[in-house]
Structure 1
Amino acid sequence: MKKYIFLSVVTIILGFVAENKASGQCEVCQQPNLCYVLTFDLPDCPGIQAVICYTCAVTHLQAYFQIYLRNVCLGMEDEAYNYARNWVLNNYAMLCGSTPCEVESAKLTFTRPICGKVEYVNGRINIYKGNWDCYKQCIEEWEWCWCNCVPGQCWDDKCPNPHVHWAPISFTIEGNGNCKPLPYPPSQDCTFINWRECGQEE
């Protein structure tokens, strides 16, 4: 089912504190990727960070996102990833530019590690993608556009309030990495990340 999300100043103010530069944290984003660091709170788990590495196409019709999570409470991997990805979907226009629904939908690609490196620090975890024999990721594709609720251009059952429209297109697995669900703590160089299977969305 397609989802329609309304942009809300209240959500922006209450939902997150973000900055587009953070010393040292953006080192995981290799050139030519851009970097955005998002800091947010979940119930009983404040101060989570998502380092968002991304590349925007010149036409704003395609973009690629890799999200690295830091300072996540154990057992809240799914909630933290969902929050960060949905923040990108709601704020894509700020990151890459807007695509009107009456023109065309942009395609946003997210990669989420299935096998990866987990650092355990002071009761929290940092999650990174795996490489080489540990490389295995879930590739998510989403469509995105902006509905201005102008008759003759874009009008749907969510109007008259202008809104963002986004919906999943496909989920595929990339890579042949072999990882076992090793417990963390302690830190693990290659383990199965404890979150939902690829394609099983909330």
Structure 2
Amino acid sequence: MKKIYFVLLLTIFLGFVAGNKASGQGVCQNCPQQYPFCYTLTIPESVCPSLEPNTVTFCYNIEYCPNRIDIFVLELEIRLECYNDFWEWFLNWIGNNIASLCGYKPCDEPLPMEIYYTVPICGRVEWYGSHRKLVYRYGQGDCDKRCVSKMLWCINGNQNYWFVVSKTVIGTGDCPEINYMDLFSTDPASQYYQWGIDCTRIIGVNCEME
């Protein structure tokens, strides 16, 4: 049974990877070199009801699977009212779906899978008023500052288990803390504008262990 389960996961895994190489696929071309694969995930309507799709694009490296996988959030395009719930939802999505990306590690065998999950602390923020969407892109150069969470993951039967063991700030960039959410409260008409901030602290990204 275990062998059949492994073959099934391997088939899903190889099919997923085959369709998601990073080169030549729009925003995926911006993946850092160490992340050769890329995927744009549509956020379900149960998380963010919308007439237009809300998406998160992430790059990933499966070189050391099933022992380790590296995930890098490249871009988030989401409605304003859904933003606060996104980060926790996406962390849970990773925990529940990582087997389709990297295979599986049973909890009764030593050494769980290590997941290195990177999100931007600094980056570019854009607002498209006609669509009521915020777009976040990771910062580069002087704006390159990220949070890397190390997670441990394993599976017991049909149940996945994971937890965050550490969070580390990397990158030498810096960014001002611009409370861009205030733009929506101080000027009611701003919801119809279009604007961009080249480098700012991404609101909602916390790199401290709770």
TM-score range, shorter chain: 0.7 to 0.9
Instruction: Note the C-alpha offset of 1:133.
Output: 1.0
Measure the CA separation in 2 of the matches of 1:58 and 1:139.
17
Instruction: Provide the TM-score with structure 1 as the length reference.
Output: 0.73
Q: Following superposition, which runs of at least 4 residues in structure 1 exceed 4 angstroms of deviation?
A: 20-23, 43-46
RMSD over aligned CA atoms reads: 2.5
Measure the CA separation in 2 of the matches of 1:192 and 1:145.
33
Q: Aligned residue for 1:119?
A: 126
Measure the CA separation in 1 of the matches of 2:199 and 2:38.
24
Instruction: Note the C-alpha offset of 1:146.
Output: 1.0
Q: Aligned residue for 2:168?
A: 172
* 1:42-93 C-alpha deviation (Å, 9 max, x unpaired): 2455621011211113341111001234331236434223222321221111
Unaligned 5+ runs, structure 2: 1-18, 184-193
Measure the CA separation in 2 of the matches of 1:57 and 1:105.
16
Instruction: Note the C-alpha offset of 1:168.
Output: 0.7
The amino acid of 2:122's aligned partner reads C
Asked if residue 133 in structure 1 is aligned to residue 142 in structure 2, the reply is yes
Decide whether the 8 Å contact of 2:74 with 2:137 is kept in 1.
yes
Which of 57, 70, 77 is the equivalent residue of 2:83?
A: 77
Instruction: Note the C-alpha offset of 1:113.
Output: 0.8
Identity of aligned residues (%): 28
Instruction: Provide the TM-score with structure 2 as the length reference.
Output: 0.71
Name the one with the larger strand percent: 1
Matched length: 170
Measure the CA separation in 1 of the matches of 2:81 and 2:167.
23
Which of 85, 100, 105 is the equivalent residue of 2:106?
A: 100
Name the one with the larger helix percent: 2
Which of 6, 26, 29 is the equivalent residue of 1:27?
A: 29
Decide whether the 8 Å contact of 2:59 with 2:72 is kept in 1.
yes
SS of residue paired to 1:187: strand
Unaligned 5+ runs, structure 1: 1-19, 149-161
When residues 54 and 177 of structure 1 are mapped into structure 2, their CA distance, relative to the original with a 3 A threshold, is: same
Asked if residue 37 in structure 1 is aligned to residue 61 in structure 2, the reply is no
Q: Aligned residue for 1:194?
A: 203
Measure the CA separation in 1 of the matches of 2:56 and 2:205.
18
